[in-house]
Amino acid sequence: MATYKKTGSKAKKGQNKIEDKSTTAEVFNTLDETASRSEQFVIKNQNIIFIILGLIVAAVLGYLAYQKYVKGPQEKEAANELAFPKAYFEDAMSNPVAVDSLLTLSLNGADGKYGFIDIANNYNGTKAGNLANYYAGISNLKLKNYKEAIEYLEKFSSNDELLGPTAKGAIGDAFADINQPEDALEYYLKAANLRNNNFSTPFFLFKAGNTAMEIEKYSKALDAFNRIKNEYPNSEEAKNIDIYINKAIFASKK
């Protein structure tokens, strides 16, 4: 019958303790060496480190001061300036009389007040300046100044559910009016894909489909019409969409 020797077991346990102590000592020695090297690095480069920290603090304080004392007042001033031409713009949208004159006033201003063009140029980087680009673009589109309309609308950006797509779609309209349907198609698709909702998306998909049909890009037209049918069945554009789908299918087989 086999038996275990107790003395051998004790010796092994003692050896393990010695090894554990040795390993622990090595870890602490390594940590000490690393800490020592870090301290030496800090001491050697403390001037540079303090300069970098000072620059970071100065940058943060400068940014906060700019936001409070420059950006904030500028935003308020720009918003106040925007009210004047916006009133003319809204009047033009609701009043069938003298539309061109009202839009011209909204663009150029009057009585010492800024119009959209001045606000876009002088308050670049503000929310009101950004909106001025949108209004200037739409005003120029209505006045058939297509090049200027595209220029201002390209500068406009927005996360709004409708304003962003509307601006892209308006660029498409401008290109369509100057007989550049390929560019119009590109911007209609951008407008449709910019946001996903039941109003602007099917609306611009429908425009994209019809434009694609005009330039005989039937597969793109079919894709647009099918998206309306499958993804936006309750939209206004989906009511007679099967007619347009069949037209695209028939045209593609010619």
Give the span between the Cα atoms of 25 and 28, in whole angstroms. Answer: 5
Instruction: pLDDT band for 41, please (50, 70, 90 cuts).
Output: low
Q: What is the CATH number of domain 159-254?
A: 1.25.40.10
Domain map (residue ranges) of the chain: 53-157, 159-254
The whole-angstrom distance between residue 138's C-alpha and the CA centroid of its chain comes to 20
Residue 223: C-alpha distances to residues 67, 169, 173, 205 (Å): 47, 18, 20, 9
The whole-angstrom distance between residue 189's C-alpha and the CA centroid of its chain comes to 16
Structure tokens at 230: 């499958």
47-71 pLDDT, tens per residue? 776 677 666 666 665 655 445 544 5
Contact 235, 198 (CB under 8 A): yes
Structure tokens at 210: 């019809």
185-208 pLDDT, tens per residue? 999 999 999 999 999 999 999 999
Residue 233: C-alpha distances to residues 60, 222, 239 (Å): 51, 15, 8
> pLDDT value at position 66?
46
pTM of the full predicted structure? 0.73
